[in-house]
Amino acid sequence: MTHDGNLMKLLQLRTEEDPGLERWLKNQHYMSPEIVNKLIAVLGKELLQRLLENIRDTSWFAIIADKTTDIAKLEQLSISIRWVRKTYEVNEDFVGLIHVPYITAATLTDAIKDVLIRCQLRLSQCRGQAYDGASNMMGRLRGVATQIQVTEAAVIPVHCLSHCLNLCLQDAARKCQPIRNALNIVMDICQLIKFSPKRSFVFLTCKDGLPIPGTALVEIMGAISRVSHDDCGCRAGGILAILERFDTFFGLKFAHLVFGATEQTSIALQGKDTTVQEAVLLAWQNLLCADKEMALPLSNFYSTMVVHSNNYASEAVLPRYKRIPHCLDDGSEPHRFTNPKEYYRV
């Protein structure tokens, strides 16, 4: 363990309260990485046992589980317990991150039951289970929720409310072409910059040094396109061409306006004290308020975007008109917009 590491610095801070700890650090006994890792594991188990003692004192609890892939490309299952103290204080505590070889419903079900057994929590006391909407978690025939209910029928499954909102936003975004295309560009930019320390550093430096924050993407894509002569340079050049179009700029700004309002709703839905009834009411009230607040900005939104886009985006134009093939033409003329403002207003 290095003397400049976070753990050593924290231990040195505690020496002011415990002189024995200072002598222990000076002797350098039991400070090898293997011993330190074992000590951390022992402390973690002790804290977990104290937490589980409080959970066992309650009559009921609920399971919250979600699967994810870590940076090493290993499938992990995160398990938390939601419980209520005798003082009616709601708690959601993380109890384990379990490596699973497969993400099938049977494997995940066995992993959850194994964690409950290790924590000495009886499934008969469980009254709720919350997952995302994946088929292996919430499948009606063989999902994790269904398999657990076969063992204990009182364990009511609940689809994560924040995930429900996320699915609604995805469906709505796909119906709006400017937002859909803009979000796809954002994903491409993240993949291009995030996984390269060099490009990440150049991006942060460029972003902080520009007077207009929005031009950072244009500048960094141009720099990568000029410097890189590989596939990344080609991708950056293509992204740069798309970023300089007005419809991309419009889609990014409009997505920020809409998703900025729904972000508050998402935060409210993730509150540990929020009940199902309160979640529905919060979502309804927040979205109604957001609709009223956006009514005035939307009336002048296009004009504002035209002014701001003059810094680095092209002029707003109508999309190219495509003639319907004769085999599909029913004789009716599709609607043609007379100007870009009318098109973007829709």
The residues, ordered by sequence, that sit 6+ positions from 236 with a Cβ below 8 Å of its Cβ are: 192, 221, 222, 224, 225, 228
Q: Is the pTM above the cut of 0.95?
A: no
29-77 confidence digits (pLDDT tens) = 677 778 888 888 898 889 999 999 989 988 899 999 998 888 778 889 9
Task: Spell out the domain ranges in the chain.
Answer: 1-34, 59-159, 168-309
| Residue tagged 């707003």 (tokens) | 316
Element of type H or E holding 8: helix 6-14
The whole-number pLDDT of residue 295 equals: 64
Helices vs. strands in the chain: H and E counts, helices first: 15, 5
How far is it, in rounded angstroms, from Cα 64 to Cα 94? 9
- Is 60 exceeded by the pLDDT of residue 211? no
Assign domain 59-159 to its CATH superfamily. Answer: ATPase, nucleotide binding domain (3.30.420.40)
Q: What is the pLDDT of residues 94-120, one digit of tens each?
A: 998 889 988 899 999 999 999 999 999
Q: Which one, of 255, 261, 217, 244, lies nearest residue 312 by Cα?
A: 244
CA gyration radius, the chain:
27
Q: What mean pLDDT is reported for the chain?
A: 83
Would you state the structure tokens that stand for residue 127, as one six-digit string?
Answer: 């009254």
Q: What percent of the chain has pLDDT over 90?
A: 18
Q: Determine which of 174-188, 243-257, 265-279 has the lowest per-residue pLDDT on average.
A: 265-279
pLDDT at residue 297, as a whole number = 63
- Residue 209 scores a pLDDT above 90: no
Residue 229: alpha-carbon gap to chain centroid? 33
Residue type, 317: V
Please determine, for residue 127, whether its predicted confidence score (pLDDT) is greater than 70: yes
